[in-house]
Amino acid sequence: MWAVLAFLTAASGQVPPFQLAAMTFLIGGLLGVATWPFRKGVVASMPRSWRVWLLGIAGLFGYHFVYFTAIRSAPPVEVSLLAYLWPLFLVAFSALLPGEKLKVHHILGVIIGLLGAALVITRGQGFTLAQGFGLGHALGFSCAIIWAAYSVLSRRFGNVSTDVVAGFCLITSALAFLCHLLFEATVWPEGQSQWLAILGLGLFPVGAAFYSWDLGVKRGDIMALGASSYASPLLSTLVLMLAGFAPYHWSIFVACLLITAGAVIAAKDMIFRRR
């Protein structure tokens, strides 16, 4: 689902970032709320700790506002690959959890992944950036840090029901709508295709994917999740290329290989551990 995030965002037209976040998070939140009438005790199970709400809202609202802004400030493929460095940082941050230890291969994996990101920005032209290193690139890199930190910290609240994600989405939608009124002019999608792209964003990358991810980081092997997420950069880039939002270039494929190789090295303990 996250592999189509960049494509659907680019296909949504010129809707301002805060407005787009408000629309898509409303859809994602309602997706979760729609299941509540069929399950008893959901509302009563909502956490009362302000730390849980602060983490969720900061993670969801912060990440997507930065991402939506970045995708319109730099070529989508470059922002996408920078943002998809989060699996590398997830592995590194996970090593800081109780019982884990940051090792040399974790650091080596992160460095290789960063080399891949640098390659896609420069398009294989050495230190000469294809279009210059701009605000969009910096924001894309920040996305990786934000999401990795949110995911690892969510592990601390493993006893909190995933239903809380619907609350995160609805509050994030309200905050984004307020920011839209304060800072932006309303621009509605043009045509059916752009409306469908926004609906797709709300149902999948900004909806169902969040609920799935929350279950994974709380109940699953977080290192295994990090390793399985490393296919995202390749899939995302291929989607952008096939949709015509990114040009074909050999550096893109080499960068994907580097990022994936770095991820595998960083997750060596999980992949090659003995039974």
User: What is the full DSSP assignment across 153-201?
Assistant: HHGGGTTS-TTHHHHHHHHHHHHHHHHHHHH-------HHHHHHHHHHH
State residue 223's pLDDT score: 73
Residue 211, sorted as left (phi over 0), alpha (psi -120 to 50) or beta, turns out to be: alpha
How do residues 3-39 score in pLDDT, each as one tens digit? 898 889 889 999 988 899 999 999 999 999 999 999 8
Nearest to 243 by CA among 132, 80, 18, 64: 80
State residue 19's pLDDT score: 93
Q: How far apart are CA 190 and CA 38, in angstroms?
A: 36
Per-residue b or e along 173-206, where b marks 16 or more CB atoms closer than 10 Å to that residue's CB: bbbbbebbeeeeeeeebeeeebeebbbbbbbbbb
How do residues 174-196 score in pLDDT, each as one tens digit? 999 998 999 889 999 999 999 99
State residue 67's pLDDT score: 81
Q: Looking at 144-153, 179-188, 225-234, 248-257, which range is the least confident one?
A: 225-234
More confident: 228 or 175: 175
Q: At 179, list the tokens.
A: 């920011």
Q: How far apart are CA 206 and CA 210, in angstroms?
A: 7
pLDDT of residue 172 exceeding 90: yes
How do residues 201-222 score in pLDDT, each as one tens digit? 999 999 999 999 999 999 887 8
Q: Diameter of the chain by CA atoms?
A: 59
Contacts of 103 (CB under 8 A, 6+ apart): 95, 269
Q: Residue length, the chain?
A: 275
How do residues 104-161 score in pLDDT, each as one tens digit? 888 888 888 888 877 776 666 654 455 667 888 889 889 999 999 999 999 889 899 9
How do residues 261-275 score in pLDDT, each as one tens digit? 887 887 777 777 665
Mean pLDDT of the chain: 85
> Would you call 240 helix, strand, or coil by DSSP?
helix
State residue 127's pLDDT score: 45
State residue 105's pLDDT score: 83
State residue 63's pLDDT score: 87
CA distances from 109 to 183, 241, 244, 265 (A): 40, 26, 31, 5
